[in-house]
Structure 1
Amino acid sequence: IYAVGFLARPIGAAIFGHFGDRIGRKSTLIATLLVMGIATFLVALVPTYDQIGIWGAVILTVLRFIQGIGVGGEWGGSVLMSMEWARSNRSRGFIASWPQFGVPCGLFLANLAVLVVSRMSGEQFLHWGWRVPFLFSLLLVAVGLYIRLGILETPVFARILAERRVERAPIREVLRRHPREIVLSMFARMAEQAPFYIFTAFVFAYGVGTLKLPRDFLLVSVLSASVVSFVSIPLFGHISDLIGRTKMYMLGAVVTGVFGFIYFGMLGSGNRILIFLAIVLSLIPHDMLYGPQAALIAESFKGRVRYSGASLGYQLASVIAGGPAPFIAAWLFARYQSAYAIGVYIAACGVVSVLATSRMTDYAGKDLEGDFE
């Protein structure tokens, strides 16, 4: 069920990328929100195995797939809605980094929700407690819908529409004209995606199962790390406006690759303070990549196919790096009986990202206004 959502993301990127480049960023963003939100809310209403047997798991898998479809189209639209409204070419990295806030916000709310419902008895949690966070997701959908209905279409797409230069088949066109940019964007994310899921997901299995740490301690640590990201993501987005996207990104990939060894060394120390610091600091190297990443990827594609290209490049990385990362980390630890084997994996991802990013064009500060062809 976990993997299904990741596999659905590139499909959602293709579907909503097509419409985002055909009918506009705003309308498509409203659609992705509804798809994600309704699917998430319906998870709370899925009958139990005792009630409908295996069909409960089938329904949950279908909803997870639909949710992944929505997620696949969400990122590209939200980034373009911000970046294409940037008033200055010299602030696109900073402006485009703000939609990235969705990740630490989601991480904060998810860990907070688990902390709250974990106070219930085991029977209460299994019977109805686990459904509560999914029910509350409807409130977030309502707030998001209210905001998105009130925004205007981006000046870039409005101009494309006014000049009747809308691409008839954007997915086909971006695959024909920008395959290199899609592949490079995908591999550039290796050092960001894989470590993120190791630092925020695998750490629970490793911390509880191997280090015998309380789950609540880990939840508070990851929650605290997400708060740090509220500052570090826009900070590194801004720095990319000053020194360039590729320089900032490659520096982040190198730091992340090195930090993997430091991270597991601190976790293995047995000292609660060092463990807490390791988890809290883990998202700073990640944010050195995630802050400039939105602009780095989106700027790589022409305006007429930007939604399609950016979405595909971004979401394909979820399949090859993000989704498998916790499982690869678990396998490496079981195989070598050393967390440093996972550090080698993170370092390898860093090398891949550096190589891919070094081949990407840096558009920081450059004018993209007439970039429609």
Structure 2
Amino acid sequence: MATNISSVDDPTPQQMRTVIISSTIGTAIEWYDFFLYGTMATLVFPKLFFPTSDHTVGTLLSLLTFLVGFLARPFGGAIFGHMGDKIGRKSTLVATLMLMGISTFIIGILPGYATLGITAAILVTIMRLCQGLGVGGEWGGSVLLAMEYGHKSNRGFWASWPQLGAPLGLALSTIAVDIVQASMSADSFLSWGWRIPFFVSALLIIIGLYIRLRIMETPLFAKVKEQNREASSPLLHAFRHSTPEILLSAGSRFVEQAPFYLFATFVVTYGVDKLLLSKTMILNSIVAAAILEMCTIPVFGALSDRVGRRLWYLIGCGLMIAFAFPYYLLMNSGSPVLFALAVILSLAIFHSWVYGPQAAMIAERFSTRSRYSGASLGYQLAAPLAGGLAPIIALLLLNGKTTLSALGRSDVVVNIGAGSWQAVSIYVIVLSSISFVSVLGLKEMTHADISGTEEDKVSPVLILAGED
């Protein structure tokens, strides 16, 4: 039986819990699928789909297929943002979950290069494209589901809960891979065992669909539907009235997007290939960091409601800049303890500092009529530049010189000079600086009233404490 709270403007704590569980679990499943591919892109896919290349090149080519998912995310944000602003948040979220689940399951049954040749790499890239479309539409809906129910107060806290889906999905996917790896030989894992975590996704999708189908439409969008005020073209509406907010929101994500994939994905390649550390130790460190981040994200989201999201985020940009060099110094120490500390600090403190309040900071500056489209674009436009490219750029900066051979034929040499971890740290500093400047251009909207349906933009009117 559905939990009918679509007409409730002041949901009870029990009703808010239902909404939060729905948005968080659904997002976690989507990110489980997305991160599972990222982990396999470093551990398995170089050998499975690109076996004719040397190890470094195979990893690079595998990460290029990882990039495809990021290139698709803005398109997913546009497509599903349009649907979310036209037909509703709930129906759109069901569609994104099914797209992600089916794509992930198909990856799990795909034959490798030995069976299909280059066709195998093409097919896995297409499925990665579908994953990107799904997760591109997922974020906006999940955040709005939470924020548009709890819009009157503590938006940073409520909207931070769907953000838990990222570390939760990361932890679940890493645990699944770790368990499967530990239960069989390396040859068995490479041959067939790697497919098991992808099959687990099918069960998770069923659970997610059951939960999401029990939630009704958000109060704010229900009001738009009742007044027949849906935007005829939400995407154009968002660009017409909020182009600066979309672009600055995208820029604000550089500090979080790229470092996250360095902290959660590239760290596996760096730890195994450069530091010769245990793969199991690295994966366990990532799991511990992800679990701790699930605690710090809502805390930092709540603190942004008190301090102000703009100021809190600017401080976070500064902290990320300060951490860029110590992060690699800790890992390069050779101590597994210090390596684990670096991983934990990177995710549970420096990443979550900006990731917690980020959802509300982006979503609250768009009107209800085009909020799904505007917030999704503001969030997803940063994905190709700062997300998918991050591990690839880091690999090139680390190695300095990489030879790309197309199936053993003529070589193409990419030479960027002497590679070093210091270059990767400078890369993080540059991206964080871009976000700092972008956030300076955004207005403070922490206490703005976002419930109106008449205005093309959110009214920066303060909410009185007594209205909570």
TM interval, short-chain normalised: over 0.9
**Aligned mates of 1:143, 1:372 — CA distance in 2:** 38
The answer for the alignment partner of 1:369 in structure 2 is 451
Q: What is the DSSP-based 3-state SS (H/G/I as helix, E as strand, rest coil) of the residue aligned with 1:175? A: helix
Q: 2:373 aligns with which of 308, 325, 333?
A: 308
Q: Which amino acid aligns with 1:237?
A: G
Note closer, same or farther for the CA distance 1:340–1:51 as it changes in structure 2 (3 Å cut).
Answer: closer
Q: Which amino acid aligns with 1:96?
A: A
The answer for the alignment partner of 1:112 in structure 2 is 175
Shift of 1:13: 0.6
Q: Deviation digits for residues 271-313 of structure 1, max 9, x if unmatched? A: 2221111111111111010000000000111111000011011
Q: What is the DSSP-based 3-state SS (H/G/I as helix, E as strand, rest coil) of the residue aligned with 1:118? A: helix
1:346 equivalent to 2:428? Answer yes
Matches within 5 A, 1:277-296: 277-283=341-347, 284-296=349-361
Q: 1:98 aligns with which of 155, 161, 172?
A: 161
1:78 equivalent to 2:142? Answer yes
Note closer, same or farther for the CA distance 1:52–1:340 as it changes in structure 2 (3 Å cut).
Answer: closer
Q: Contact 2:368–2:453 at 8 Å: present in 1 too?
A: yes
Q: Contact 1:89–1:364 at 8 Å: present in 2 too?
A: no
**Aligned mates of 1:277, 1:148 — CA distance in 2:** 36
1:360 equivalent to 2:424? Answer no
Q: 2:397 aligns with which of 324, 332, 351?
A: 332
Higher relative contact order (CA 8 A, sep 6+): 1
Q: Contact 2:224–2:453 at 8 Å: present in 1 too?
A: no
In the superposition, the TM-score normalised over structure 1's length comes to 0.97
Shift of 1:56: 2.2
Q: Contact 2:96–2:137 at 8 Å: present in 1 too?
A: yes
Q: Which amino acid aligns with 1:99?
A: P
The answer for the alignment partner of 1:145 in structure 2 is 209
Q: Which amino acid aligns with 2:171?
A: F
**Aligned mates of 1:340, 1:62 — CA distance in 2:** 35
Q: Which amino acid aligns with 2:319?
A: V
1:257 equivalent to 2:339? Answer no
Q: Which amino acid aligns with 2:172?
A: L
**Aligned mates of 1:55, 1:333 — CA distance in 2:** 30
Note closer, same or farther for the CA distance 1:331–1:50 as it changes in structure 2 (3 Å cut).
Answer: closer
Q: What is the DSSP-based 3-state SS (H/G/I as helix, E as strand, rest coil) of the residue aligned with 1:324? A: helix
Q: Contact 2:96–2:138 at 8 Å: present in 1 too?
A: yes
Q: What is the DSSP-based 3-state SS (H/G/I as helix, E as strand, rest coil) of the residue aligned with 2:109? A: coil
The answer for the alignment partner of 2:38 in structure 1 is none
Q: Contact 1:37–1:141 at 8 Å: present in 2 too?
A: yes
1:217 equivalent to 2:281? Answer yes
The answer for the alignment partner of 1:5 in structure 2 is 69
Note closer, same or farther for the CA distance 1:104–1:168 as it changes in structure 2 (3 Å cut).
Answer: same
**Aligned mates of 2:454, 2:128 — CA distance in 1:** 35
Matches within 5 A, 1:239-258: 239-258=303-322
1:189 equivalent to 2:253? Answer yes
Matches within 5 A, 1:28-67: 28-67=92-131
Q: Deviation digits for residues 20-57 of structure 1, max 9, x if unmatched? A: 00000011001111111111111112133333333222
Q: Contact 2:367–2:452 at 8 Å: present in 1 too?
A: no
**Aligned mates of 1:51, 1:28 — CA distance in 2:** 37
Q: What is the DSSP-based 3-state SS (H/G/I as helix, E as strand, rest coil) of the residue aligned with 2:205? A: helix
**Aligned mates of 1:160, 1:236 — CA distance in 2:** 31
Q: Contact 1:303–1:372 at 8 Å: present in 2 too?
A: no
In the superposition, the TM-score normalised over structure 2's length comes to 0.78
Q: What is the DSSP-based 3-state SS (H/G/I as helix, E as strand, rest coil) of the residue aligned with 1:90? A: coil
**Aligned mates of 2:429, 2:197 — CA distance in 1:** 35
Q: Contact 2:159–2:360 at 8 Å: present in 1 too?
A: yes
Q: What is the DSSP-based 3-state SS (H/G/I as helix, E as strand, rest coil) of the residue aligned with 2:79? A: helix
Q: Deviation digits for residues 174-223 of structure 1, max 9, x if unmatched? A: 12221111110111000001111111111111111111111111001111
More helix by share: 1
Shift of 1:345: 1.3
**Aligned mates of 2:115, 2:454 — CA distance in 1:** 54
**Aligned mates of 1:61, 1:372 — CA distance in 2:** 43
1:320 equivalent to 2:385? Answer yes
Note closer, same or farther for the CA distance 1:271–1:53 as it changes in structure 2 (3 Å cut).
Answer: closer
Runs of 4+ in 1 over 6 A off after TM superposition: none
**Aligned mates of 1:44, 1:337 — CA distance in 2:** 35
Q: What is the DSSP-based 3-state SS (H/G/I as helix, E as strand, rest coil) of the residue aligned with 1:44? A: helix
Note closer, same or farther for the CA distance 1:62–1:337 as it changes in structure 2 (3 Å cut).
Answer: closer
Q: What is the DSSP-based 3-state SS (H/G/I as helix, E as strand, rest coil) of the residue aligned with 1:152? A: coil
Q: Which amino acid aligns with 1:357?
A: V
Shift of 1:262: 1.0
Q: Contact 1:33–1:141 at 8 Å: present in 2 too?
A: yes
Q: Which amino acid aligns with 2:158?
A: I
Task: Answer with 1 or 2: which has the greater Rg.
Answer: 2
Shift of 1:327: 1.4
**Aligned mates of 1:48, 1:329 — CA distance in 2:** 27
**Aligned mates of 2:428, 2:126 — CA distance in 1:** 32
